[in-house]
Structure 1
Amino acid sequence: MNKIFEVPLYAYERSSDQDAATAVRHKVIVIGAGPVGLATAIDLAQQGVEVVVLDDNDKVSFGSRAICFSQRTLDIADRLGAGSPMVDKGVQWNVGKVFFDNRQVYEFNLQPDTGYANPAFINLQQYYFENALVDRVRQLQAAGAPIEIRGRNKVEAIGTHDSHVVLEVETPEGPYNVEADWLIACDGANSPTRRMLGLDFDGRVFEDNFLIADVVMEADFPTERWFWFDPPFNRGQSALLHKQPDNVWRIDLQLGWDIDKEREKRPENVIPRLKAMLGEDVDFDLEWVSIYTFQCRRMERFRHGRVLFAGDSAHQVSPFGAMGANSGIQDADNLCWKLKLVLDGKAPEILLDSYSRERVQAADANIAKSSRSTDFITPKSQISRLLRDAVLDLSEHFEFARPLVNSGRLSTPCTYQDSSLSSADALNGPDITRPGSACPDAPLGDEFLLPKLAGKFTLLTIDAGAPERIEEGGVEATRLALSVKDDLTLELKRRYLGDATGAVYLIRPDQHVAARRDTFEENAFRQAIRRATGKE
């Protein structure tokens, strides 16, 4: 791990709350300064919402954590003002290769077309991701934004009330109490908040074990995702190889069910496994080693009164597919604009139930994909293994078999179904931009579309008329007028218009499609705003 991260980034400092005669009330308190907690706090602060982040640590996360961040996450990071340093530091990739034994059976390209500001994926150690977000917090603080990180502030107890939440916080100088109108728990898979409120996960815990190792080495492997089934160096099991910045490589090796975890983590047992994979003559240093098991679980709902859960505190999936941190960032993206409307009195509190409903749907989709991947990677019977191996053999020569190969379905944004987003769809347009979907990017000359849709309700018109603004119940949507005449790449037409001659979209602040029609009809779009803000 980079030495700069061994010093505190947000060292403990005594706050005025600790000297107050009575508990100080804050608008929002976030527990956890990981990627999801920091993204949540930044999003709220950029909207002018006062937010305090409490974390029992004082520096970024250490160890083998998230490394693979999707295009959607990078689009959100751009809106948060932190995307560029992540992309600049990260290793960009879009090609994956799958091997069976020592044969490549096929490869895939996650972004074969062009016209996006961000790459399909980057590999970036979580500590760099978090550091970019902490830097963004410092920028906001310097500009006077109402955001604060309190390191070594450990929440020990939580009391919930109809109008607020009370927290007992332990610090190096003793405890103090603080209150919040709203509490957002982003404190990880072992969430103390969840435990203190007596809540739990539902789902599956898989019995197979995986060794995860980050190694530092000079290697000429290409910048691709390589996955092996039954390789010579790990017979009967699987393996994964990913490149990270600073010549760090992520290696996952399946170990099986009945193992001694502490024994398997010892260098004298890890190094021979890695040499068998990389070659006896390859020099490398171990940066981090751990053992993990797959878990596909979630809370029943993500809102409990004034307490909201996001990220791993709300849901868990297996790491193959990069759906953990990416989904958590999308939780924050869904939640923050809704909470801002509630705080401003422009939406009822019931709007926050749509956060839970939509992100539970996203979690279920990820859990389903992750469970299917796990069942393919780790067959539970001889028949399942024979079928799996037959698919891998066929995929080497036959196109039809390749979609059946499952080495981990990569993270994609959720298209919300059966929600307030389904109103006013009277356009037979592209499936990629149907109501509920996350807006894909498109080139607009020297610029791109998504930054123009960030953080507000937008009436996107493509060769269609509409008013410059429409206000419904205190919520305003402003127009962005585009034309395919200026669409030299035709990507805007392909992604948003299809065979139609014109289109009008209502885009939410999180860049999800709330409604679309071929022409502007005022009543339909007013209703769509009401539905999207929990008023209908």
Structure 2
Amino acid sequence: MQPFRQFAYRRSLDQDAADPVRHPVVIVGAGPVGLTLALDLARRALPVVLIDDADRIGEGSRAICFAKRTLEIFDRLGLAEAMVEKGVTWQKGKVFRGDAGLYEFDLLPEGGHKQPAFINLQQFYVEAALVEAVLAEPLVDLRWSNRLAGLVNREDGAALTIATPDGNYSLHADWLVACDGARSPSRDMLGLEFRGEAFEDRFLIADVKMQAPFPTERWFWFDPPFHSGQSALLHKQPDDVWRIDLQLSPDADPEHEKRPEIVRPRIERMLGHADFALEWVSVYRFQCRRLDKFLHGRVIFAGDAAHQVSPFGARGANSGIQDVDNLGWKLALVLQGKSPAALLESYDSERGLAADENILNSTRATDFIAPRSPGERLLRAAALSLAPLAPFAQRFVNSGRLSLPSAYAASPLSTADAGWEGGLPPGAPFLDAPLPAKAGVTAWLSEVLRQGRPVVIGEGASRLAPSGTVAVEPTADGDDILRRRYGLAPGDAVVLRPDGHVAARFRQASPADIVMAIDRLEGRAS
């Protein structure tokens, strides 16, 4: 994972074609979301053209917190091990008021998961790992210094104009996926607008390099003594770099606040010393907005191009990567002729629900961190006063609800069940569990998803699972974690989608039940 690489522009054969060349999928934007989708589709044997207007991996840490579910997606693509090794693993945090501790939390108190609750890893390292994997993938054509300059959305695909150092050329795509960020040119070219809210308060991000004795935990302060009346956040990153967020006033001048002579005294007050180097500084405002629809004809939006949230809670990059985890297998089935194009409507509904959930959590966190009305300030003061005295009050203290995968409770791809108590209902995200060891090495349920196919879990799964699926059987151990987490009794079966969400569960399952559930989850149910 070598950061800050620059990539030479290379002329494509498409630029010399007499007529526009048609490709099944073109992805705009080689950030974490676009790179993840390109790699996912290639692993499903689909060729992809990925364009980006830059010639390098983005500079600055930007996103740093990558959640367990995102790591499971990266693990499916063969990338998580190196990321976890390089990253700073954490699962605990502390919340302070002034210099007094309010409470502590643990994001993964129960074992039996392959991936940690979170790692902190600078975004440029994540992008570097993804780029290396994409460059080694013959089915991905990654084109740097290729800028989307024109887009026409047609009934049978998208017509694109691409600008390069050698001039413009044209492409056609059966499907265009716009992963081109918060300022998405694709969105502008289709005349689409975000709806939502932009918050007034500004926040300073500073990455500082220093030796420090702080533990690898998330520390958040309300009204700290070093930054009176505001809030602050501290996180450890690799390479002795620490992320510091400091709340500013709404009328703060971003250019003024980013000047080193302004930033350094603030951080010196926080740390109590000046023995650090500034690595990266930025000032931002919260925005919680989304497109009304993520699917527009043959153009699909994902990541920040589809929705934006505040960074508190680590819901930006994580939700974007989970967008394309939802989209990849569906788009592959459509392009392979195994499912109707209507299957993609479920991407819009499911990830739209996830976006609404993330925006709600993000808005609530912002309202608590930076209350705007007397009522909000009164509520916050009461919650902060009660939190160290009464555990129930800790639920009302909001320093950013950290990223969790959404449940697709009303998904049209789920098969409803009745009379089942316990376990995970249809639409719920899967929970990892250890499987019987092979050659002395622990295997994991999450590793089964690497095959990119539906998974059938249960005693006798090998008999129940039809061709094209993967069977997983619990062990005979009475305390088997897999059996316990899925509420499995003898004769039961659970069907997981390729993205790990529960599609169906059956008491006394039959092969016909499983086939019916897979037809539904792949969009073929009548």
**Which residue of the partner structure matches residue 31 of structure 1?**
28
Corresponding position: 1:179 with 2:179 = no
Corresponding position: 1:124 with 2:117 = no
| Residues 76-114 of structure 1: per-residue CA shift (max 9 Å, x gap) | 001111111111110000001000011011000001110
Instruction: Note the C-alpha offset of 1:271.
Output: 0.8
Contact 1:208 1:293 in 2 (8 A): yes
3-state DSSP class of the match of 1:321?
coil
2:484 is aligned with what amino acid?
Answer: R
**Which residue of the partner structure matches residue 149 of structure 1?**
142
1:270 is aligned, of 247, 251, 263, to: 263
2:218 is aligned, of 220, 225, 228, to: 225
User: Cα–Cα, structure 1 residues 465 and 41, in superposed 2: closer, same or farther, change >3 Å?
Assistant: closer
Compute the RMSD of aligned alpha carbons: 1.7
Q: Percent identity?
A: 53
Instruction: Note the C-alpha offset of 1:503.
Output: 2.2
Instruction: Note the C-alpha offset of 1:465.
Output: 5.8
Corresponding position: 1:71 with 2:64 = no
| Residues 11-33 of structure 1: per-residue CA shift (max 9 Å, x gap) | 21111111111111111110000
1:192 is aligned with what amino acid?
Answer: P
Instruction: Note the C-alpha offset of 1:282.
Output: 3.6
Corresponding position: 1:400 with 2:392 = yes
Instruction: Note the C-alpha offset of 1:421.
Output: 3.6
**Which residue of the partner structure matches residue 521 of structure 1?**
510
**Which residue of the partner structure matches residue 305 of structure 2?**
313
Instruction: Note the C-alpha offset of 1:328.
Output: 0.5
Between the aligned partners of 1:282 and 1:492, the Cα distance in structure 2 is 51
Instruction: Note the C-alpha offset of 1:332.
Output: 0.6
3-state DSSP class of the match of 1:467?
helix
Instruction: Note the C-alpha offset of 1:262.
Output: 1.2
Contact 1:468 1:478 in 2 (8 A): no
**Which residue of the partner structure matches residue 195 of structure 2?**
202
1:237 is aligned, of 230, 233, 253, to: 230
2:456 is aligned with what amino acid?
Answer: L
3-state DSSP class of the match of 2:239?
helix
| Residues 373-406 of structure 1: per-residue CA shift (max 9 Å, x gap) | 1111111123322321221121112111111111
Question: Which ranges in structure 2 are unaligned for 5 or more consecutive residues?
Answer: none
**Which residue of the partner structure matches residue 481 of structure 2?**
491
Instruction: Note the C-alpha offset of 1:532.
Output: 1.1
3-state DSSP class of the match of 1:228?
strand
Instruction: Note the C-alpha offset of 1:435.
Output: 0.7
Between the aligned partners of 1:53 and 1:180, the Cα distance in structure 2 is 11
Question: Which ranges in structure 1 are unaligned for 5 or more consecutive residues?
Answer: none
Between the aligned partners of 1:66 and 1:380, the Cα distance in structure 2 is 27
Deviates more, 1:147-156 or 1:375-384: 375-384
3-state DSSP class of the match of 2:62?
coil
For normalisation by structure 2, the TM-score amounts to 0.96
Contact 1:427 1:517 in 2 (8 A): no
Contact 1:337 1:455 in 2 (8 A): no
Between the aligned partners of 2:505 and 2:176, the Cα distance in structure 1 is 34
Between the aligned partners of 2:185 and 2:334, the Cα distance in structure 1 is 26
Instruction: Note the C-alpha offset of 1:459.
Output: 4.6
Corresponding position: 1:443 with 2:434 = yes
3-state DSSP class of the match of 2:202?
strand
2:157 is aligned with what amino acid?
Answer: H
1:496 is aligned with what amino acid?
Answer: Y
1:191 is aligned with what amino acid?
Answer: S
Between the aligned partners of 2:167 and 2:279, the Cα distance in structure 1 is 35
For normalisation by structure 1, the TM-score amounts to 0.94
3-state DSSP class of the match of 1:354?
helix
Corresponding position: 1:535 with 2:499 = no
Contact 1:427 1:516 in 2 (8 A): no
Between the aligned partners of 2:38 and 2:454, the Cα distance in structure 1 is 23
Corresponding position: 1:511 with 2:509 = no
Between the aligned partners of 1:401 and 1:217, the Cα distance in structure 2 is 35
Runs of 4+ aligned residues of structure 1 deviating over 6 Å after TM superposition are none
Corresponding position: 1:467 with 2:467 = no
User: Cα–Cα, structure 1 residues 37 and 138, in superposed 2: closer, same or farther, change >3 Å?
Assistant: same
Between the aligned partners of 1:386 and 1:424, the Cα distance in structure 2 is 43
Between the aligned partners of 1:441 and 1:182, the Cα distance in structure 2 is 33
Between the aligned partners of 2:501 and 2:376, the Cα distance in structure 1 is 39
2:220 is aligned with what amino acid?
Answer: F
Instruction: Note the C-alpha offset of 1:257.
Output: 1.1
Contact 1:430 1:494 in 2 (8 A): no
2:503 is aligned with what amino acid?
Answer: A
1:345 is aligned with what amino acid?
Answer: G
